[in-house]
Chains A and B, each alone.
Chain A
């Protein structure tokens, strides 16, 4: 009887300790999850900002200005266009 009680006490202590550890683990993991979610949100924001930046750089106004002023490009006149393949229907 005494031996059974001692055994049960040992089991009880083991269970209690494992509960404490798993609880601690769970909290640690949860904190990590929170951090990751927050980081994900930040990346999302950054992605939006990068998209915004891309859109701003790629706006036709700017592209046209650079093409005309810096690269000295122009639309070819009718005399300088040769239609290949696509014939007049």
Chain B
């Protein structure tokens, strides 16, 4: 105003002057402006320093992203490095039905990609809040779904585990569940080792969404590690095939087989029947998934006798040629009587094993202090779990010696009143295969021979091994266990099954043996549960399976024969030696 007045000096103030302004107008306008500025400053202080989180988040979401760094699960390999389990990325398609906007044509093409009918798809979309339209699709199929660009249909990355060995090794490996986490078997036991932990990191992106700069690593990814097993895929298949054939031929309920490497204690094969297919989402009854060879116990029967005899020989009570009076074929202890299936005159200790005499074994056991016999059984690994790390493996039952009654000591001598699992039984026979050492068994690959725990004197182990060789020859209980070109040794078991508190007319037929006798490499244990096709003696049911598997396994491993090719001598028909228990 003043400037204006000064520029027009000639003008007089008065009539042409604007009407006087109200006195308070300028201060009020000024105050208002100040107030507005104060409001702006206050708001900006508030946003900048006090309530800045929302804007920070909004801002950074425009230039930075948190990316997931995937980490897949480790592979499971066999001893040669061939894959037994591999995870590969797949996609699952999901939707919120309420938010799906799709034309009928789009739905029809979606149904075609998902290999389902439009009706089935419509039914899925007609219900619920969240629905999976397809689980674990191959990435190419998921790509085709994405190309349809249907609003409300999403995909998510997952891993799916494949088991090329299918049903042959499924009990050992187990399987994984959702999120590729181990659910059964070694997949569960080795979860820590195999499982990968995805990481995440923050990056700056450009307008095309490409990462242009690393900001920080939020969580380092941890890739799953590979696991090499002791399993030999060829032997595993061989064991599985023969076991399956034997269970079917004998109309049995179940069966199991274990092949052990004597030097390293590695489990080269572990097969079970019945089995399941781990690749199928619908795996059938839980019952089929049990790894019976490790998680189920049975009363072994006569396969225990060599331990009784070895104990007596080691303690110096008997010699292989000591005569035991078994001529009556029975032995009465209190109210109970023990029978032999096959009656013979007096037998030497050697023949007790060869002919599998219950009376002989019982008499020898009764000549020993129960403490000594218990120590032998415990040292051979009975009553303690095999410690393979397999989930649910059992210890079996070996009662403390103090609680043994004489009749129990007698029946334990031939494998009743004691329970074992098949892997324990195979492990125990490493004592005879390795000159008296009990080997630690493992399902993981070992590097070379492993020292065992000495249990027997080497001479005792060799003497018993010789007896076991007699048992598979023409005068023994298992001539059908012989293998062309190799000397084998082993023992049959035919045990009545315990049902409730009494023994039923059902059997467990088993055979445990080793070969080649001159320098044992393998222990093979076979167990057939409830054969119902007529035969039930271990020598007739389990021994032939042993023979086929042992022969083929030794040939596959390139073990040089230690017997001529005409070594197999079968007894004339009708002259077989039978045994029970």
Which residues of A line the B interface, CB within 8 A?
26-27, 30-31, 34, 41, 45, 48-49, 51-52, 54-56, 58-61, 64, 75, 78-79, 81, 83, 86, 88-89
Q: List 30 A-B contacts (CB under 8 A).
A: A27-B212, A27-B213, A30-B212, A30-B214, A41-B70, A45-B72, A48-B72, A48-B86, A48-B87, A48-B88, A49-B88, A51-B86, A52-B164, A54-B83, A55-B86, A56-B164, A59-B233, A60-B233, A60-B234, A60-B237, A61-B241, A64-B237, A64-B241, A75-B552, A78-B484, A78-B485, A79-B565, A81-B485, A83-B485, A89-B519
With A31-B211, A34-B210, A34-B211: A52-B563 Cβ-Cβ less than 8 Å: no
Please determine whether B566 and A78 come into contact, CB atoms closer than 8 angstroms. yes
With A48-B88, A55-B83: A89-B210 Cβ-Cβ less than 8 Å: no
B428 to chain A, nearest CB (A): 26
Please determine whether B82 and A83 come into contact, CB atoms closer than 8 angstroms. no
Please determine whether B165 and A88 come into contact, CB atoms closer than 8 angstroms. no
| Complex interface: chain A residues within 8 A of B212 (CB) | 27, 30-31
| Complex interface: chain B residues within 8 A of A78 (CB) | 484-485, 565-566, 568
B180 CB–A CB distance under 8 Å? no
In the complex, besides A26-B213, A31-B211, A59-B233, 4 extra interface pairs with C-beta distance below 8 angstroms are: A48-B75, A79-B565, A83-B565, A88-B563
B37 to chain A, nearest CB (A): 35
| Complex interface: chain A residues within 8 A of B96 (CB) | none
Quick one: CB contact mask for B188-232 with A, threshold 8 Å, 1 for yes?
000000000000000000100011111000000000000000000
* Selected contact of B561 from candidates A49, A61, A83, CB within 8 Å: A83
Instruction: Give the CA-CA distance A52 to B82 in the complex, in Å.
Output: 9
Which residues of B line the A interface, CB within 8 A?
70, 72, 75, 82-84, 86-89, 162, 164-166, 168, 206, 210-214, 233-234, 237-238, 241, 484-485, 518-519, 552, 560-566, 568
A75 to chain B, nearest CB (A): 8
Please determine whether A88 and B89 come into contact, CB atoms closer than 8 angstroms. no
| Complex interface: chain B residues within 8 A of A58 (CB) | 82
Instruction: Give the CA-CA distance A85 to B485 in the complex, in Å.
Output: 14
| Complex interface: chain A residues within 8 A of B238 (CB) | 60
Q: Which of A26, A55, A75, A89 has the most CB of B within 10 A?
A: A55
The 10 closest A-B CB pairs, nearest first, are A86-B560, A60-B237, A55-B164, A55-B83, A27-B212, A56-B164, A78-B484, A78-B565, A52-B86, A51-B83
| Complex interface: chain B residues within 8 A of A56 (CB) | 164
Nearest residue (CB) in B for A26 is B213
| Complex interface: chain B residues within 8 A of A61 (CB) | 166, 168, 237, 241
With A52-B164, A59-B164, A88-B561: A30-B87 Cβ-Cβ less than 8 Å: no
Please determine whether B565 and A81 come into contact, CB atoms closer than 8 angstroms. yes
* Selected contact of A30 from candidates B162, B164, B213, CB within 8 Å: B213
Instruction: Give the CA-CA distance A30 to B89 in the complex, in Å.
Output: 25
Nearest residue (CB) in B for A61 is B237
B515 to chain A, nearest CB (A): 13
B552 to chain A, nearest CB (A): 8
| Complex interface: chain B residues within 8 A of A30 (CB) | 211-214
Please determine whether A27 and B214 come into contact, CB atoms closer than 8 angstroms. no
Instruction: Give the CA-CA distance A56 to B237 in the complex, in Å.
Output: 13
| Complex interface: chain A residues within 8 A of B165 (CB) | 55, 59
Nearest residue (CB) in B for A82 is B565
Please determine whether B162 and A52 come into contact, CB atoms closer than 8 angstroms. yes
| Complex interface: chain A residues within 8 A of B75 (CB) | 48, 51
| Complex interface: chain A residues within 8 A of B210 (CB) | 31, 34
With A34-B210, A49-B88, A60-B238: A88-B162 Cβ-Cβ less than 8 Å: no
Instruction: Give the CA-CA distance A45 to B139 in the complex, in Å.
Output: 11
| Complex interface: chain A residues within 8 A of B518 (CB) | 89
Nearest residue (CB) in A for B168 is A61
Instruction: Give the CA-CA distance A74 to B212 in the complex, in Å.
Output: 63
| Complex interface: chain A residues within 8 A of B233 (CB) | 59-60
Please determine whether B206 and A27 come into contact, CB atoms closer than 8 angstroms. yes
Nearest residue (CB) in A for B487 is A88
A78 to chain B, nearest CB (A): 4
Instruction: Give the CA-CA distance A89 to B486 in the complex, in Å.
Output: 10
A68 to chain B, nearest CB (A): 12
With A60-B234, A83-B485: A52-B88 Cβ-Cβ less than 8 Å: yes
| Complex interface: chain B residues within 8 A of A86 (CB) | 560-561
B87 to chain A, nearest CB (A): 7
| Complex interface: chain B residues within 8 A of A75 (CB) | 552
Instruction: Give the CA-CA distance A56 to B165 in the complex, in Å.
Output: 7
Nearest residue (CB) in B for A51 is B83
B213 to chain A, nearest CB (A): 6
Instruction: Give the CA-CA distance A66 to B164 in the complex, in Å.
Output: 17
Nearest residue (CB) in B for A52 is B86
| Complex interface: chain A residues within 8 A of B162 (CB) | 52
Nearest residue (CB) in B for A44 is B72
B16 to chain A, nearest CB (A): 54
Instruction: Give the CA-CA distance A52 to B485 in the complex, in Å.
Output: 37
Please determine whether A55 and B88 come into contact, CB atoms closer than 8 angstroms. no
Q: Which of B89, B552, B563 has the most CB of A within 10 A?
A: B89
Nearest residue (CB) in A for B138 is A49
